Amino acid sequence: MAENVIEFKNVVKDYGDFKLDSISFVVPEGSVCGFIGQNGAGKTTAISLLLDLIRRDAGEVYLFGEPVDEKHAYLREDVGVVFDEMGFHEFLTPKQINVIMKNAYKNWDENEFFNNLKKFSLPSNKSCGAFSRGMRMKLQIAAALSHNAKLLVMDEPTSGLDPIVRNEIMQIFREFEMQENHTILLSSHITGDLEKIADEVVFIDAGRIVLKGNKDSILEKHAVLKCPNDYVEKISESVIVNVQQGAYGSEVLVNDADACRRLYPDTVIEPSTLEEIMIFYVNRAKQQSKNA
C-alpha cells in the first residue's frame, strides 16, 4: 500500500456559485484524518471526487497510490463509505442488504456482516426504514466494515446523533483504526468527536484549505489569549489569527502560543479547541471578504 492512502494535488471543481479552489492534502496510511469545516465548505465535494462520483476540472486525486479514474474503479473495493443520509432503500431489511452487497463486493464477508449486526444490536429482519437515525448509521457502518475495507470514508456520520450513540460510533472507529494498515477519513463539523480520535486534521473553508497537519501540533501552536480591549494593539499582527472583542475584553486566537506566553506574560493564555480554531478562522475569512 502507498505511504499516503489519499492524495489531492491542486484539485479544482468549479460549480460557478461554489469552487473547490486548488486544494492539496494527503492522508497517511494507518491514520485517522479529521476533515473539518462548516456545512457547505467543500467537504462533500472533495469526498465525491475521491470516490469518482463527480469529475474534477483540474488537478489529480490518488487512492492507494493510483489515480482515481475509470481505469482504477477496482480501488473502491477497498473503501468502506458511510454518508450522512442512508444509502439503502427504506423497505430493505439487513438480511436483504446482505444479498445485494454479496453481488456488489468481491470481498464481501457475510459472517462478518451478521456479526456486526449483532454487535451493534441491529435486527436482521426489520426494514431499515423503521430504524432510528442512530441505528441507520450503525447499519451503514456494519456494511462498510464487512468487505475487508482498508479505508473508511465517512461524511458527517455522527451529525444529529445523541452523545451516547456518537460515543459508541467513535469507539467502533477506534477499533477499526487499531487494526493493521487501516485508515479513516472522517468528515465532520462536530470537532469534539475529532479531537478524541483524529491524528491528522484538514480544515477547509469556502473551498480552500485553511490548515492541515498533525492535530496535536495544530492544537499546541494555537491558543486563545484573553486581554483588555486596548491591549490588543500591543500584540504582534504576525501571531494574530483573529480577534473577538466584547464589552469586558478581547479574545485573540494566536498561532504561536509559546511565543505569546513569553512576550505577553501579563495576559491569560488558554489552550484552544478545534472548534474555536475553526470559528476564528471562518470569522477572519468573512471579515476579509467584507473588506475586499
Contact yes or no for 256/239 (Cβ under 8 A): yes
Number of structural domains in the chain: 2
Same domain, 174 and 267: no
In this structure, are 18 and 110 located in the same domain?
A: yes
Is 244 found in the same domain as 186?
no
Domain boundary among 197, 218, 239: 218
Angle formed at CA 198 by CA 279 and CA 151, multiple of 5 degrees:
125
Task: For residues 224 and 132, state if they share a domain.
Answer: no
**pLDDT of the chain, 292 residues: tens digit per residue:** 458 999 999 999 999 999 999 999 999 999 999 999 988 899 999 999 999 999 999 999 999 999 998 888 888 889 998 887 767 888 999 999 999 999 888 899 999 999 999 988 999 999 998 998 888 888 988 999 899 889 999 888 777 778 888 888 888 888 888 877 899 999 987 888 888 889 999 999 999 999 999 999 999 999 999 999 999 999 999 999 999 999 999 999 999 999 999 999 999 999 999 999 999 999 998 888 777 6
Indicate the residue among 218, 246, 265 that finishes a domain: 218
Within this chain, do residues 132 and 255 fall inside the same structural domain, yes or no? no
Dihedral of CA 206/189/217/219: which sign? positive
CA distance 195 to 207: 22
Domain span at 242: 220-291
218: left (phi over 0), alpha (psi -120 to 50) or beta: alpha
β-pairing verdict for 151-155 and 19-28: unpaired
Residues 142 and 79 in one domain: yes
Of 243, 219, 221, nearest to 231 (Cα)?
Answer: 243
Are residues 268 and 136 part of one domain?
no
* Distance, CA of 110 to CA of 124 (rounded, Å): 12
Residue by residue, DSSP assigns 129-149 as GGS-HHHHHHHHHHHHTSS--
Task: Please indicate, yes or no, whether residues 18 and 129 belong to a single structural domain of this protein.
Answer: yes
Do 180 and 102 lie in a common domain? yes
DSSP code for 29:
T
* CATH code: domain of residue 66: 3.40.50.300
Shared domain for 88 and 182, answered yes or no, is yes
